[in-house]
Amino acid sequence: MKKLIILLLTLSFWMPVQAQQAVDMQEIPQGAVVYSLPRTCVRIVAQAQYTQFTAGPYARYARKFLGIDVPQENTTSYRLTHIEMTPMLEADPHQMYVADVSSKNISPWFLQLTSQGLVMLADSRSGTETKWRFPSMSVEPEVTDAGLIANIKQEQTTLYRSEVQGSTITSVPVQQSQLVEKTLEERADEAARKIFQLRNKRMAIITGDTDVIFSGEAMGSALEEMRRMEEEYMKLFIGVTVTGKSHLAADVVPDAEKTKYIVFRISEKDGLLPAENVSGRPIVLDMSLIEGNIPVQVRANEQAARSGTRVFYRQPVIMLLRLLDGQQELLQARTPIYQRGQVLNFIIN
């Protein structure tokens, strides 16, 4: 069965004995099928881009050793970059009917309507199941000096031992070497010195002020390796920034009365969130009737309907759908909402 996004007219066949009653599957006559009138489901798909910054372990010393100011706190921010709103059709479980397609008058009509998606069979579904897709942000990157800066250093200390010479006790200095852990500032100082050393060496190679002669591919490889090493040391001061995208999808099935729906929420810190999570600001779907499209209530001629088979159809209401972020309008679309419309009929003898 074809999936139709927008339909102007929906027809369906109805057996008078079972009009708008719950269908008992054991009472379905031979040659009949169970079907439903379609209803409109609005699918919202949102995309947000996140920027995740991880501060370097030496950030507080960037001004002292490198003369630059860098952020010292880890941050994560989101912004809405893309959003789509698509109307779809699905079977309305509150509008189920039984049609006897064995009739010569009905069968050709019914087969044509089902092939075009104007009637939903009980085992068909044009819409898709609602799914929340939460942000799948990458693991926060770790910025560490492991493997770049030695964590310990050798330190000389002077100890004193006492020596007795006759009646005099003297202190004799003794030099002792021991390994101690470097402070964070000492490691930052060492990393900064290596950065400047690499820059000086790179400049010497470029200007030819070196005892080693580089040419062609060898020079390019040497400069690239120095650039990579400098970048690794710089990360210890300036940190690392990672960007990516997260997606979320939700379905909204409008009812007969409600005009505003919170589709999802967004937080600059936590990203795309489900509607139930009040930590983000709401993204609201607002529905309103378009001027000139107010439905007119039509009363069917019940006396004439007894003389033949009634063919029912559902006249949708054209509504203006707007997606709002506070006072900002993200997008809008004119959409037929079938469940807001009136169910009408005509006669086939």
Q: Is the dihedral of CA 323, 329, 335, 337 positive or negative?
A: positive
For range 88-105, the mean pLDDT: 73
Whether 9 and 37 have beta carbons less than 8 Å apart is answered as no
**CA dist 344 to 120, 238, 316, Å?**
17, 69, 11
Percent of the chain with pLDDT over 70: 66
Reported as a single tens digit per residue, the pLDDT across 160-190 is 677 777 677 777 676 777 777 888 888 888 8
As a whole number of angstroms, the distance between CA 311 and CA 16 comes to 10
pLDDT, the chain, mean: 75
Reported as a single tens digit per residue, the pLDDT across 29-62 is 666 667 778 888 999 999 999 999 999 999 999 9
As a whole number of angstroms, the distance between CA 285 and CA 49 comes to 22
Backbone angles phi, psi at 301, to 5 degrees: -85, 95
Verdict on whether the full-model pTM lies above 0.75: no
Residue 126 has pLDDT above 90, yes or no: no
Domain boundaries, the chain: 10-63+71-141+242-348, 152-238
As a whole number of angstroms, the distance between CA 254 and CA 180 comes to 69
